[in-house]
Amino acid sequence: MIAPEPTQYQMVFCDIDGTLLDSTHRISPGTRQKIQELDRIGIPFILVSARMPSAIFPLQRELGVKAPIVCYSGALILDERGEPIKTVGIDREKAVLIDDFVKREWKDVCCSAYCHRDWISDNIHDRWIMQEQSITASVPKEGKISDFVPQKGQVHKLLCMGEAGAIADLTHALQENFSGLSVYCSKDTYLEIMNEAASKSGAVKHLCEAYGIPMEATVSFGDNFNDIDMLLATGTCFAMGNAPPEVKRQVRNVTEDNDHEGVLAGLEQLNFAENRI
């Protein structure tokens, strides 16, 4: 690992699954203590995830910090009170077309939609939905997109879950048949679909401007392909030890894996500026 330069950092952006959380979906006590130390000296610790708000705020409360959160990989940013700061979605009509395409052509793939605080599935007893519910503790609503999203409304994310081979094939099919989308795998069985204008790096830039903090004074942590743009946008970054080799090759620093307090190990290497905000 290359030691980061002696910059005084002022903000931290951290992915959740596979990064902050270990493989049992827990935050280590040492990591939590370090994050609270940073909070006390005025360093915002921003949770950045493809998750919906109800699956992020409980973790933030567990950490005992107050800061904005980035949901749906940048499609929705909420402030400390849960009020929207920025929202970028897929128009309802287009989201319905994508949902219909997946369900018509890829019958073994589960497709569900997220709109602000709602998680929408036409079968809440699908094994993939139940698995995701057990991980995130979010509760889906049963029905169609049109049942919950107003005609002029937007969907923040479509999530397709299935076997790795089907997800890989679906990725290519969506890229060939639809434009204006960000389509990526958050793991080999999960495909995230959002507006191409939504990104974790865009959320980083927006919050840096809001706080008046230069991007070079920020640090980020992530473990997968959907984190790369965020990792490359911040002043320094750490890929987790459990990240795929392709992700590790693109970043400067590789820390320990998520089962060995990789976030804590990275934070301990950095200097932080006290009370800059």
Task: Indicate if 147 belongs to the active site.
Answer: no
Catalytic, out of 15, 122, 229, 257: 15
From CA 114, how far away is CA 95, in angstroms rounded?
10
pTM (global) more than 0.85 = yes
pLDDT digits (tens, 9 = 90+) for 13-71: 999 999 999 999 999 999 999 999 999 999 999 999 999 999 999 999 999 999 999 99
pLDDT digits (tens, 9 = 90+) for 138-193: 999 999 999 999 999 999 999 999 999 999 999 999 999 999 999 988 888 999 99
**What value does the mean pLDDT take over residues 227-234?**
96
Closest by Cα among 244, 248, 221 to 233: 221
Judge contact between 223 and 15, C-beta under 8 A.
Answer: yes
pLDDT at 4 over 50: no
pLDDT digits (tens, 9 = 90+) for 149-159: 999 999 999 99
pLDDT at 5 over 70: no
DSSP helix/strand/coil, 91? strand
- Residue 275's pLDDT is what? 62
- Crossing angle between the packed helical segments 164-177 and 92-105, to the nearest 10 degrees: 130
pLDDT at 277 over 50: no
pLDDT digits (tens, 9 = 90+) for 185-223: 888 899 999 999 999 999 999 999 999 999 999 999 999
Taking all residues of the chain, what is their mean pLDDT, rounded to a whole number? 94
pLDDT at 1 over 70: no
DSSP string of 134-145? HHH----EES-H
Judge contact between 80 and 68, C-beta under 8 A.
Answer: yes
What's at 238, amino acid-wise? Answer: F
